[in-house]
Amino acid sequence: MSYPALSPSAHVVVVGAGLAGWRLCEALRREGFLGEISLLGDEAHAPYDRPPLSKQVLSGKWAPEQTSLIKDDALSSVNFVPNFSALSLEGTTVTASNGRRVTGDHVVIATGTRARPAPWTARGLCEVRNLDDVAALRSAVEGLPPGGVVAVIGAGFIGAEVATGLVALGKTPLVFEAQERPLQSILGETVARWLEPLAGDAGIELRSSQRISEVTGELGNYTIHFDDGSRVTVGVVVVGIGALPNAEWVASSGLDTHNGVTVDEFLHASDRVSAVGDVAHFRWRRGPFDDTVRIEHWQVANDHAAYLAKALTQGTDAVGPLSMVPYFWSDQYGKKIQVLGHPHPSDDVTMVTGSFAERKWLALYSHDGLLTGAISLSQPRALMMCRALLESHVTLSEALDASPWAT
């Protein structure tokens, strides 16, 4: 399969004005695309960056405006339509909930993910997915006395970062995690064991293997009910239990939306529709591995956008399929976790430098003797030295022989 370049006068409609959507607009202009670009987003805000929300914005180090992704007057290079909540896609026509329709020559779906809704009856539970959520959480905790307890349900990346931010605000997070160890289902048991003490090191109480049956109440007075009959009462609850792709609005188009929007190795769902970022369920071939994945990382959204802009302006024969080394980071409990590659939680793990006791280490993931990823705790330089290994699909023993982290 190959796709030709867009005509220079084509109209590209980008749905979702977040990171991937905006980066695609920037990259199309950088690649010299002169046609019309419509950027349709359901938020009132111009494109902004999400990682700082649970870090600098929650803790008060940054004003919300500092998350803006727009440099100077760059937004004027596109037709930006805020408050446009896409409801359906037919061909290349996007229809909003208010009936407004936009038709282009090529549609790019960049609608990201939303927080997985809490399955409990309580009202006003906080989450951190967008600017308005952080404002609501900051205002909710302002009403608490110094040291007031805030329950954080879920000790994944967002929950851990929120707990860290709450300490900076002078509050006392109490973190509840369903798994035996946080991040176990993502990073595997070995790495989860190594990361488990970080919360305690930072003076944050983390309770694992928690079975929450119900949360009742409203802001200022919540009760968390556990399967064993115990209860905890707190004033504010933040829920971070994962994310779901915003793909339902595309379902009527006939495209595959069973886990986001399924696209091929050129990020195309059809010759006139593509998807990028968190919502894209994309075919990804690297070395001996070939599967279809959906990856919710900041860097992957950037890489998708840069790739698709080239594919749309030059044609896929000229650029070949998507190729990248995924990367993500998380700042939690005063430490930085960084991961390169796409390890599976069941992959083997080998610590190659540093130690658990120092809380500074680098480890490699491998599957059937092939390198699949690298992870570090507070070892950013050593981690980045592994990028070339992942690009060249080496075996674990070749990686150990090369040991670029030791240089």
Ligand X SMILES: Cc1cc2nc3c(=O)[nH]c(=O)nc-3n(C[C@H](O)[C@H](O)[C@H](O)COP(=O)(O)OP(=O)(O)OC[C@H]3O[C@@H](n4cnc5c(N)ncnc54)[C@H](O)[C@@H]3O)c2cc1C
> For residues 246 and 313, which CB has a smaller minimum distance to ligand X in the complex?
246
Burial class, 52, CB count within 10 angstroms (exposed 0-12 / middle 13-18 / buried 19+): middle
Burial class, 121, CB count within 10 angstroms (exposed 0-12 / middle 13-18 / buried 19+): exposed
Q: Where does 250-399 show beta strands of DSSP type E?
A: 261-263, 268-270, 273-275, 280-286, 289-293, 327-332, 335-341, 348-355, 360-367, 370-377
Planar angle of CA 285, 26, 281, nearest 5 degrees: 30
> For residues 38 and 210, which CB has a smaller minimum distance to ligand X in the complex?
38
d(CA 53, CA 331): 12
Give the binding range for ligand X (CB under 6 A) out of 18-26, 72-80, 164-172, 224-232: 18-26
Pairing state of beta strands 327-332 and 106-109? unpaired
> For residues 129 and 281, which CB has a smaller minimum distance to ligand X in the complex?
129
Would you give the binding string for ligand X spanning residues 237-266, x where CB under 6 A is met?
A: ---------x--x-----------------
Binding residue count for ligand X, defined by CB under 6 A? 38
> For residues 23 and 217, which CB has a smaller minimum distance to ligand X in the complex?
23
Which residue in the set 3, 38, 39, 41 belongs to the binding site for ligand X (CB under 6 A)? 41
Which residue in the set 158, 325, 386, 389 belongs to the binding site for ligand X (CB under 6 A)? 158
Contact between 111 and ligand X per CB under 6 A = yes
Which residue in the set 110, 140, 174, 212 belongs to the binding site for ligand X (CB under 6 A)? 110
Which residue in the set 31, 43, 105, 348 belongs to the binding site for ligand X (CB under 6 A)? 43
Contact between 21 and ligand X per CB under 6 A = yes
Contact between 343 and ligand X per CB under 6 A = no
> For residues 1 and 44, which CB has a smaller minimum distance to ligand X in the complex?
44
Tell me the C-alpha to C-alpha distance, in Å, between residue 88 and each of 95, 194, 262: 5, 45, 16
> For residues 81 and 219, which CB has a smaller minimum distance to ligand X in the complex?
81
Contact between 309 and ligand X per CB under 6 A = no
Would you give the binding string for ligand X spanning residues 51-70, x where CB under 6 A is met?
A: x-xx----------------
Structure tokens at 385: 């030295």
Which residue in the set 27, 28, 40, 199 belongs to the binding site for ligand X (CB under 6 A)? 40
> For residues 176 and 282, which CB has a smaller minimum distance to ligand X in the complex?
282
Give the binding range for ligand X (CB under 6 A) out of 82-90, 207-215, 220-228, 361-369: 82-90
Contact between 86 and ligand X per CB under 6 A = yes
Contact between 189 and ligand X per CB under 6 A = no
Give the H/E segment covering residue 402. Answer: helix 396-402
Residue 53: strand, helix, or coil: helix
Contact between 329 and ligand X per CB under 6 A = yes
Contact between 159 and ligand X per CB under 6 A = no
> For residues 110 and 374, which CB has a smaller minimum distance to ligand X in the complex?
110
Cα atoms found within 13 Å of the Cα of residue 376, Cβ hemisphere only: 20
Planar angle of CA 84, 87, 90, nearest 5 degrees: 115
Type of residue found at 203: G
Contact between 196 and ligand X per CB under 6 A = no
d(CA 262, CA 268): 8
- Are the beta carbons of 374 and 400 closer than 8 angstroms? no
Q: Scan residues 353-382 and list those touching ligand X (CB under 6 A).
A: none
Contact between 235 and ligand X per CB under 6 A = no
Contact between 338 and ligand X per CB under 6 A = no
Contact between 330 and ligand X per CB under 6 A = yes
Provide the minimum distance between the beta carbon of 329 and ligand X in the complex, in angstroms, as a whole number: 5
Which residue in the set 13, 18, 175, 354 belongs to the binding site for ligand X (CB under 6 A)? 18
Burial class, 296, CB count within 10 angstroms (exposed 0-12 / middle 13-18 / buried 19+): middle
Contact between 277 and ligand X per CB under 6 A = yes
Residue 384: strand, helix, or coil: helix
Buried b / exposed e over 61-100, threshold 16 CB at 10 Å, is eeebeebebeeeeebeebebbeebebbbbeebebbbeeee
Contact between 328 and ligand X per CB under 6 A = yes
d(CA 269, CA 281): 10
Binding site for ligand X (CB under 6 A): 15-21, 40-43, 50-51, 53-54, 84-86, 110-113, 128-129, 158, 246, 249, 277-279, 296-299, 301, 328-330
